[in-house]
Structure 1
Amino acid sequence: MNKFLMSAKVAVASAALATGLSHGVEAQEYDWPRLMVIATPGTSTGSFASTNGWGPIFQQETGTTVRIVPEDSELMRNRRLTEREDVAIASVSAAEMASQTEGVGGYASARAIPQRILWHHNDTPWGFVVAGDSEIKSLEDIGKGGVRVTEGVFSPAIVSVVTEALPGFIGLTPEEAQEQIEYVPASSYGENCRSVVEGKSDVAYCSPISSVLSEMEGAPGSIRWLPMDPANKEGWSRFLNFRGMTIPSTISMGVKTANGVDSMTSNFVYAVPVTADVDFAYNMAKWLHQSYDAYKGTHALASRMSVELFRSYLNANPIPVHEGTVKYLREIGQWSDEDDAWNSAAIKQMDAWVEARQAGMKAAMEQGIEINFENEEFLNLMAEHTKDLQPFRSRL
């Protein structure tokens, strides 16, 4: 078990007697650690705020002292979880977990250590928005040519979506898109989204939970969202070639105009190292499920931690789930033999990436090549070791 788990044999039943609580979760016979450290993104994020919502309730019900540590550096948060093991759980986007495993960017020179999903944390919906009176009724209309699409040059991720993933969904190559679509640059997120109600562009890629979308929804003519048909498997497959960890889903939060529209989400999960104790993961999953009603109102994003939403997310998730979580989900009828099949495949895929990257680093040391993500010779060596591996991408 990780160093953060300072065992004090604090029984849940004892905590219940000490606090006078009668919540059902206290009946479980598990000796919680004295201290549990959870790492999240920085203090200005919803992940930090929502974890601070359920943390105190967990502390009260179990007797465990909870420390929530904000860590803006994705690389350091990952290292503290997997290498230093001085945190128990980390809040991280599933896309970031894939990058950590595959050694993308700055992770190229980080130690390759496997992780597992403990529970679903939150999700951010995204979609393509147009003015309410726009003649564009579907994404396919964009492929007819003469359509202006906002290119948020402030964000490489948004640039990739509109110049590569979106064209892929409607059957265009990035090169064809450059010829048929007029891209309108925007220097900020607000400018990016407002462009469609200001008449500067026809289509923008935005999140319906952003405050600027409420402003746009109240503008003359309001706004509409272009649906992404979940039955369009070929289109989604091409989209995922560029945005592999996006989850096709129906928008259920944010501005009213977006609710019920088939689109996509970017999901955050709570991750644990592969070495996390099975009983610990099992009981954490059990608590997060059984105490949901007690903490769901502490923050808007805490309401995204229901077992139902987690189950829905698992239908497309490609990242391995921890054995303890699997054990609990199976007990409550939320895990099947089919889930075993894809989870086993996900474990093999993660293990293959870890083994290949570890072999690449060993070869670099033997050859005297500097292990640095900015060293092209090192990156070429790692690419050679991982060339036959498939990147993680959402299951359709």
Structure 2
Amino acid sequence: MIRRLLVIGVTLFVSGPSLAEDIKLPPTMGVTAYDTGTAGFNIAVGVGKMMKDKYGTDLRVLPAGNDVARLAPLRAKRAVMSAMGSGTYFAQEGVFEFGAREWGPQPLQLLLSTVDCNAGSLGVAADIGVKEIKDLKGKRVGFVVGSPALNQNSLAILAFGGLKQTDVKAVEFASYGAMWKGLINNDTDAAFGTTITGPAKEAETSPRGLIWPPLPADDKAGWERVQKVGSFFFPHRATCGAGISPEKPIQLGTYPYPIFVAYASVPADQVYAITKAMIVNYDAYKDSAPGAGGLAADRQTKNWVVPVHPGAVKALKEAGQWSDQQEAHNNALFKRQDALTAAWAEYGKSNPPSDDKAFLEGWMKARAAALAKANMPNGFE
């Protein structure tokens, strides 16, 4: 199984050198990220400059418009890691576009991720009088065609206010950028994004203005609804972004972004070297782009919904940033990936429908049954 193979990989590497000066990186590496100018792309570029300066490694950052496009080079071994968002979780779970017969559950595992002063939520045009998420009932909310990750994020935030997609007027756009342009141009009233994204800042200075309706952490019922739709979200106090400052913080929600991930099949020693380089040279890139400061080893999100790669675990242990509790949680997530992989294989043997929609529906039922049998949460009721 995946976990056992990786444990062997770590065991073989434990006796190797661990000092920063002994880190060995290849001459070139590929990493995929969101489009040029996004936080994920900019942070990846900052990490790449560090690797070039410290190790002579050319890190080629390949922009891609959706999660499938970001992971395809990794699966084809043309890139070693990706700066992903919530699509990491969807890929692991084999849902949405990853429920297609060409994909299925992907054994993605974390290196490092960032949670910084920013948050991810629904930005709302200030000129419509909305103060709370529940006030969006009947309002126009942007959705992006072919981007289940973004759309699921929006639905999770709407759930805080007890709203579903049918409670709002869904307006579809071709891309993330087009959606935010739509908010500025009065074609929609709300759009999901990170508070530090360029389009949000542009919206804030537009005639419509921008607000971020709060998601107070003490609203337990609201957060229970959020996490039923997006289990990867958690409460977060935002202190930076469009209209947000340390003096004017807002309680919102977030999840790690970007999340540097690699496939389970990437050798543990390679992942260790990359992660170690990012940890020991943190000061060289922490100010390279907004959000990069969240990559510090002591600021890593604990016990998230996707496991940490064994190579990265070794680097985090050396940095004193790993616990027995997280080890147990990580091992449970490895078992979840094993269960999902086995369920996909069994579904493939069951003569599934040739129609794409029927195939996905059948898989989601098989997936739910397999997780229930393993006494693991579905996450997509």
TM range (shorter): 0.7 to 0.9
| Structure with bigger gyration radius | 1
| CA 166–291 in structure 1, closer or farther in 2 if over 3 Å, else same | closer
Q: CA deviation at 1:236?
A: 1.2
Q: Percent identity?
A: 22
Counterpart Cα distance in 1 of 2:193 and 2:108: 30
Partner of 2:360: 379
C-alpha RMSD over aligned residues: 3.8
Partner of 2:63: 70
Q: CA deviation at 1:377?
A: 4.0
Report matched runs for 1:135-214 at 5 Å.
138-139=132-133, 142=135, 149-153=139-143, 164-166=155-157, 168-170=159-161, 172=162, 174=164, 178=167, 183=169, 188-192=179-183, 207-211=194-198, 213-214=200-201
Cα displacement string for residues 175-216 of structure 1 (whole angstroms, at most 9, x for unaligned residues): 9x83xxx75968742443676xx9x96x77564324454456
- Supply the AA of the counterpart residue of 1:314: K
Partner of 2:220: 233
SS of the equivalent of 1:314 reads coil
Counterpart Cα distance in 1 of 2:182 and 2:328: 45
Q: Tell me if 1:323 matches 2:310.
A: yes
SS of the equivalent of 2:262 reads strand
- Supply the AA of the counterpart residue of 1:290: V
Q: CA deviation at 1:274?
A: 0.8
Counterpart Cα distance in 2 of 1:255 and 1:234: 27
1:53 to 22, 46, 51: 46
Counterpart Cα distance in 2 of 1:72 and 1:324: 28
Aligned length: 346
2:258 to 268, 279, 285: 268
**What TM-score results when the alignment is normalised by the length of structure 2?**
0.74
Counterpart Cα distance in 1 of 2:185 and 2:120: 15
- Supply the AA of the counterpart residue of 1:99: F
| CA 89–342 in structure 1, closer or farther in 2 if over 3 Å, else same | same
| CA 63–250 in structure 1, closer or farther in 2 if over 3 Å, else same | same
| CA 57–133 in structure 1, closer or farther in 2 if over 3 Å, else same | closer
SS of the equivalent of 1:241 reads helix
- Which blocks of at least 5 consecutive residues in structure 2 are unaligned? 6-16, 174-178, 372-376
Q: CA deviation at 1:244?
A: 3.3
| CA 206–102 in structure 1, closer or farther in 2 if over 3 Å, else same | closer
Counterpart Cα distance in 2 of 1:130 and 1:77: 28
Report matched runs for 1:1-396 at 5 Å.
27-72=20-65, 74-82=67-75, 84-93=76-85, 95-107=86-98, 108-109=100-101, 110=103, 112-120=105-113, 125-128=119-122, 138-139=132-133, 142=135, 149-153=139-143, 164-166=155-157, 168-170=159-161, 172=162, 174=164, 178=167, 183=169, 188-192=179-183, 207-211=194-198, 213-214=200-201, 217=204, 224-257=211-244, 260-266=249-255, 267-309=257-299, 311=300, 313-314=301-302, 317-364=304-351, 369-370=353-354, 375-388=356-369, 389=371, 390-391=377-378
- Supply the AA of the counterpart residue of 2:43: S
- Supply the AA of the counterpart residue of 2:215: M
- Which blocks of at least 5 consecutive residues in structure 1 are unaligned? 2-12, 14-24
